[in-house]
Structure 1
């Protein structure tokens, strides 16, 4: 928890998948925000993943790539929300889609809001 000059006592920036934040009220809605990346697939990773999938087990390279991509799109979404004056994003979701056989799109989106604690 932090405390700034506006009286806000909470995380510097909050992202939740719920439509509201218990203990806080939504004072202002800034609209939809998103972060997006499109990744090309690494042929060597795909070959290794194909072999690994035959024998079972975690595809660690693919897991790391997905975690890195999700962190990247979250950062972009938060940056857009902050540039609009928000201190939170509600109703956040991830979306992924395949673009042909070589690209994967990853998107984080939600509603940018300004929240304050209930008194």
Structure 2
């Protein structure tokens, strides 16, 4: 059911009127295993993209959006507007991602 929730970064959804329900969030903290962290550290010496960290952020983003959708479903929402991300490094190789927006119900 959560995968059916429309999530958009825009304020308005063309062709839809809606009422605001509440703010919604999806949070996650992710880390990679020690072997990948060592490999990433060696890669940082040479420069270029560190794929282990790119994968880490992609996975964390996907989990945060899924949790945002689940939060919206629990509130009876039809969509989430004005979705944004926030992120922070807790330690090397550990990232926290927050997806947040406004849950709305179509009229």
Question: What number of residue pairs does the alignment pair up?
Answer: 105
Q: Pick which of 58-67 and 101-110 moved more.
A: 101-110
Of the three residues 53, 64, 82, the one matched with 1:62 is 53
Q: Which residue of 2 aligns with 1:24?
A: 16
Q: Distance in 1 between matches of 2:100 and 2:76?
A: 16
Q: Which residue of 1 aligns with 2:5?
A: 13
TM-score normalised over the length of structure 1: 0.75
Of the three residues 16, 37, 45, the one matched with 1:46 is 37
- Between Structure 1 and Structure 2, the one with more helix by share is 2
Q: Please give the root-mean-square deviation of Cα atoms over the aligned residues, in Å.
A: 2.1
Structure 2 gap ranges (5+): none
TM-score normalised over the length of structure 2: 0.83
Q: CA deviation at 1:59?
A: 1.6
Structure 1 gap ranges (5+): 1-10
Task: Say if 1:45 and 1:30 are closer, same or farther in 2 by CA, change over 3 A.
Answer: same
Higher Rg: 1
